[in-house]
């Protein structure tokens, strides 16, 4: 009887990530993955019943890294909301615009038009991250650090602002890791725009009474 182990399962996933990243889903075969992992087809199929199942696992585990980074960076107890958002933004962009994660994102986008992988990747990955961000923004608004608006919309807009200057990297054939200084500039620009829209409202002062005095 073939004994399964978590270490072997992970080695197969790592090998599949390399193969899918270099040749795409359609261009990859289970034999290619076997060769990369150094295992037999029987061993491979004892862990994953199909290439589709293995591909989805690679996608989900890749997105989990993003979720973990979001969870670690969002601190509801932070006194300075701008600093908390900047820390979050820098960690997020360093991860999702790394060459390895960009390769996973491109794979998910390519498969979205041919199968349900794209939707599953979003539902089990990006969507969970958006929920975490929205919860953080909701707590920040309750503490008076942000203006109370729709936190789900705010979360989507925040990530959109953070990615707005880097989206062309998704289409680069050989993306290079971002320099920390560039990440900081991009994040600072995004947070400035976000806070201008959703920063805590100032209590308006009553305008002076400029009505003309009624002459008797």
- Per residue in 70-126, pLDDT tens? 787 888 888 899 999 999 999 989 888 888 788 777 777 777 776 676 677 777 777
Average pLDDT over all residues of the chain: 83
Residue 203's pLDDT is 44
Give the three-state DSSP class for 116.
coil
Distance CA 191, CA 27 (A): 40
N- to C-terminal Cα separation, the chain: 107
Residue 40's pLDDT is 92
Return the CATH superfamily for domain 1-49. Answer: Homeodomain-like (1.10.10.60)
| Whole-prediction pTM | 0.73
Burial 47-77 (b: 16+ CB within 10 A, else e): bbeebeebbbbbbbebbebbbebbeebbeee
Q: Return the CATH number of the domain spanning residue range 61-198.
A: 1.10.357.10
Whether 61-198 and 1-49 are alike in CATH topology: the answer is no
Give the three-state DSSP class for 188.
helix
- Total residue length of the chain: 216
Domain boundaries, the chain: 1-49, 61-198
Express each pLDDT in 14-24 by its tens digit. 999 889 878 87
């Amino acid at each position: 009887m073939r004994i399964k182990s978590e270490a072997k399962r992970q080695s197969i996933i790592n090998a599949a990530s390399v193969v899918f990243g270099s040749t795409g889903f359609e261009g990859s075969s289970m034999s290619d993955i076997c060769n990369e992992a150094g295992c037999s087809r029987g061993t491979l199929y004892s862990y994953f019943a199909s290439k589709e199942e293995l591909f989805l696992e690679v996608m989900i585990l890749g997105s989990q890294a993003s979720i973990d980074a979001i969870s670690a960076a969002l601190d509801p107890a932070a006194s300075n909301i701008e600093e908390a958002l900047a820390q979050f933004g820098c960690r997020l962009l360093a991860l999702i615009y790394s060459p390895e994660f960009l390769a996973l994102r491109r794979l998910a986008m390519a498969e979205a038009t041919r199968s349900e992988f794209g939707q599953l990747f979003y539902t089990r990955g990006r969507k969970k991250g958006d929920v975490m961000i929205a919860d953080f923004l909701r707590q920040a608004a309750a503490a008076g650090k942000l203006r109370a608006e729709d936190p789900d919309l705010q979360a989507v807009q925040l990530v959109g602002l953070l990615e707005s200057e880097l989206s062309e990297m998704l289409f680069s054939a050989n993306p290079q890791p971002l320099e920390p200084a560039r990440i900081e500039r991009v994040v600072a620009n995004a947070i400035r725009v976000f806070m201008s829209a959703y920063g805590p409202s100032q209590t308006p002062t009553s305008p002076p009474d400029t009505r003309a005095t009624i002459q008797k």
